[in-house]
A and B are shown apart, each in its own frame.
Chain A
Amino acid sequence: MIQRWAIKTLLRSRLRTLGSALAVGAAFALVIMFRAVWEGETEQLAVYLERAGADVWVMQAHVSNMHMASSFIAEGKRNEVARVPGVQSLAGILYLNTMVEAGDRQWFSYVVGLDEAGQMGGPWSVPQGRSHVGPGEAVIPETLALLTETEVGDEIQIADHRFTVVGLSAETFSATNPVTFVYAADLADLLSLTGYDSYILVRSEPDVSPGLLAGRIREEVDGVEALPTPEFVENDLQLARQMGTEVIALMTMLCAALATLLVGFSLFIHTSHNRRELVILKTLGFSNRHVYGTVLSHAVVLTGVALAFAVSAVEVLAIVGPRLAPILSLSITARALLEIGVAGFAVALAATLMLARRVARVDPMSAFNS
């Protein structure tokens, strides 16, 4: 019954409760949104690696990922890799992380050099134009084209080389690393480097597992590293996550502290407003433990409503956001929601503890004051 009182009292001040929940929800929404953007960007970073069509990635020894990495292996290694039992087909790509100038804007981009039409490592979906790039040609992400007002037939610039856009690819854009495809010889020229690949993409025979094949390549070809695609992808994701972990943790802590203060302040207002009723409860024989329970209920309900609001708001943003701002890649993971949920209830508990002394000092004697 005392919990019924707690909830009904909270609902009696609907506007105040809703206002508090919205304020706390906004703090939670910030954290969820920040994480969603980060997760979205991180996942997008790995999309190229996952969709390139390779079962095994071969790279320079001591290199184990692509993001922010450099890898160069002599072209001759392609033949050595091709001779390894279990290799069905392979293709080499050149890769550079550099600025691409499109329209009047510059974007940091993965630039991938391709040898031939339809090879592994090229764009897998090209809604406008064509996927094959020849000398002096480029395929850029359609989102990048939209943001820079670039169309098929326009020119882009990479270092001192100009390329004509011949196609716009889908699913290859992220705010930090869109993927631009150019002709391999052009990229080699730009790097002043010939006779090298950055990565060799290998497709395995159907009855050979990528893990086994990667092991064989490492054993039989000197000076290279070979990794099955899932492991290669995970290395990239891990690197990206490591770079963001501290920022995310700091942001979460700041927002959780803000939420705690907001919930605490709301409880303070609520208990001040209902102090008389707390006095009555104590006079009737309810102990401090019971009264703490009511404050905790208030905190949990407030935090729960705030979390529901935050998740709903972010879900809506996840649908509407990318349409309004194509630059955004959002990903709301169950893990992120679980973590923010746990943080939310820690916030409720912390806010209740902030009020403990105040509740304990409610004097039942004041029930006699009329």
Chain B
Amino acid sequence: METSHILRTENLTKSFGSGAATVRAVNDVSLNVGEGEIIVIMGPSGSGKTTLLSMMGGLMRPTSGAVFIRDVDISGMSESELPGIRARHIGFIFQAFNLLEALTVEENVLLPAQLAPGGVKGARERTAQLLAKLDLTARRNAYPRTLSGGEKQRVAIARALINRAPLVLADEPTGNLDSQKGTEVSMILHDVARDEGCSVVIVSHDPRVEDIADRVLWLEDGRIRDRRSEDHSWVRDPVCGMRVDEWTAVNRFEHENRRYVFCSRRCLERFEESPEIYVSAEAATRGARGS
């Protein structure tokens, strides 16, 4: 049976700089994303994950190679054509949520519908459904500044889905959330792919996201590589106790000559506020284990 691909990249390469100073952020990456498939792209900081995601989303032009969305090559499209592709075919979810502060939850979700054939009017019912599904109905008239991180990310997910985009690109969607909210958002993304039938590409450091992936790809030095299990170095987040890959974690903090890593920026911030609480709690846990 022939697999239907929503997204396809062929020998995708992106170089920055010139001459001897040329850096290949993404190097000859070819991959396919099938309908309804969830792909998680992991890799150390600076491995080219976000650059790859940007090219997939038509936000950055590749140096060479091509990106196909439903077999249409978007890498050669003009600047005036790309916004239309993004509006109709791609939903974006960001680490920083990127909601518009002046608009309510409902208005944020409805905003991209202006670019869809049915317009804002035609999308009101779907907005209500999405808000209900993501447990945001009671917050529909709230402004982003009054929302928690988890709520903001759920609004961003609803916004990414409003135009029934076949492809959702998520950049560190759990990066600014604590352990519980991060898991919740991961599960929502999983359910979204299942219920909406859309493909989801997630770039993340968060090992919790691996649990929902159909495939996990490892990007290193701009190339997709096989990832061996020994590439993990699991440690505990001292704030929430979650398992974190020390090798890939981006949220790090040095305290009393010791390095701590965190599952999210939120946990890091909590630790920075009063590290002694968590250090002593961790020491107590270690002591209990030792005895």
Contacts and interface: CB of A to CB of B under 8 A. Distances in A.
Interface of A: 1-2, 4-5, 8-9, 11-12, 276-277, 280-288, 364-365, 367-370
B54 interface: yes
Interface stretch (B62-70, B83-91, B204-212): B83-91
A323 B94 CA distance: 63
A170 B94 CA distance: 74
Given A367-B59, A368-B94, A370-B94, A285 B115 contact: yes
Contacts of A276: 98
Interface in B147-184: 159, 171-172, 175-176
A368 B54 contact: yes
Given A2-B114, A277-B100, A367-B98, A284 B92 contact: yes
Contact of B96 (A4, A11, A286, A370): A370
A367 B115 contact: no
A293 B86 CA distance: 19
Contacts of B50: 368
B102 A285 contact: no
B107 interface: yes
B101 A12 contact: yes
Contacts of A12: 101-102
**B79, B85, B87, B101: most-surrounded residue (chain A CB, <10 A):** B101
Contacts of B98: 276, 280, 283, 367
Contacts of A370: 94-96, 172, 175-176
Q: Which 8 A-B pairs have the closest CB atoms?
A: A285-B87, A8-B102, A285-B86, A370-B96, A287-B83, A9-B102, A370-B95, A365-B59
Interface string B4-37: 0000000000000000000000000000000000
Given A1-B107, A9-B100, A9-B102, 8 more contacts: A1-B110, A1-B114, A5-B100, A280-B98, A283-B57, A283-B98, A287-B84, A288-B79
Given A284-B87, A367-B94, A5 B59 contact: no
Interface of A is mostly: helix
A244 to B, nearest CB: 46
Given A9-B102, A367-B59, A283 B171 contact: no
A304 B175 CA distance: 44
B95 A286 contact: no
A8 B143 CA distance: 12
A95 B110 CA distance: 75
B128 interface: no
Given A277-B101, A280-B100, A285 B83 contact: yes
Contacts of A367: 59, 92, 94, 98
A191 B248 CA distance: 104
Nearest to A282: B83
Contact of A286 (B83, B110, B113): B83
A365 B115 contact: no
Given A280-B98, A282-B83, A284-B86, A368 B103 contact: no
B242 interface: no
Contacts of B240: none
Interface in B189-236: none
A9 B107 CA distance: 13
20 contacts: A1-B113, A1-B120, A2-B114, A5-B103, A8-B102, A12-B101, A280-B98, A280-B100, A282-B83, A283-B57, A284-B111, A284-B115, A285-B86, A288-B79, A364-B59, A368-B53, A368-B95, A368-B171, A370-B94, A370-B176
Contacts of B80: 287-288
A286 B88 CA distance: 11
Given A5-B111, A368-B53, A370-B175, A285 B100 contact: no
Contact of A283 (B59, B102, B175): B59
